[in-house]
């Protein structure tokens, strides 16, 4: 199911619920730390820059190999940790891509600047996540209408 929200704040409320669910089912989550346009939200931009710096430092220490630009692709996020969940919530929809995989099947995907997420999960799971997000204040959350 494709879902959208009118505001980043509403989408972040929803992504909090999605992130907790993905952690609970053991999905492997990654994010590509690239953007086509500068992140407008100052807090999210700061988090993005900090995460890129951390990734670069960790990868440089991990073997002394030459740093390459593509090293920001497929950065794993541990949604069971507070920092990992925060990065997912604030950045998944603001970077060029984020996805979650469970048993070799994509169960979540988001693309930069679209405020749209794809959740190919069982309908009951998606309905529960949407209901929780709406209860938490994400009132503009809605399915993406099919294209004519």
Q: Encode pLDDT of 55-110 as tens digits.
A: 888 877 776 555 565 678 899 999 999 999 999 999 999 999 999 999 999 999 99
pLDDT of residue 68: 60
| pLDDT tens figures, 26-62 | 999 999 999 999 999 999 999 999 999 998 888 777 7
Q: Which of 124, 91, 92 is nearest to 109 (CA)?
A: 92
pLDDT of residue 111 exceeding 90, the answer is no
Q: What are phi and psi of 37, to 5 degrees?
A: -130, 145
pLDDT of residue 82: 94
pLDDT of residue 70: 61
pLDDT of residue 95: 95
| pLDDT tens figures, 2-21 | 999 999 999 999 999 999 99
Quickly state the pLDDT bin for 113 (edges 50, 70, 90): confident
Q: Which of 16, 139, 141, 147 is nearest to 87 (CA)?
A: 16
pTM comes to 0.92
pLDDT of residue 16: 98
Q: Please report how the helices 42-61 and 82-91 are oriented relative to each other, as an axis angle in degrees rounded to 10.
A: 120
């Amino acid at each position: 199911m494709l879902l959208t929200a009118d505001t980043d704040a509403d989408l972040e409320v929803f992504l909090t619920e999605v992130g907790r669910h993905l952690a609970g089912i053991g999905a492997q989550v990654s994010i590509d730390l690239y953007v086509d346009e500068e992140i407008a939200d100052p807090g999210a931009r700061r988090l993005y820059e900090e995460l890129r710096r951390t990734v670069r430092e960790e990868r440089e220490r991990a073997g002394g190999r030459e740093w390459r630009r593509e090293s920001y692709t497929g950065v794993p996020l541990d949604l069971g940790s507070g920092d990992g969940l925060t990065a997912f919530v604030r950045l998944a929809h603001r970077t060029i891509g984020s996805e979650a995989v469970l048993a070799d099947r994509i169960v979540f995907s988001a693309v930069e600047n679209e405020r749209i997420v794809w959740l190919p999960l069982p309908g009951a799971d998606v309905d529960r996540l949407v209901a929780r997000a709406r209860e938490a204040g994400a009132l503009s959350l809605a399915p993406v209408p099919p294209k004519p």
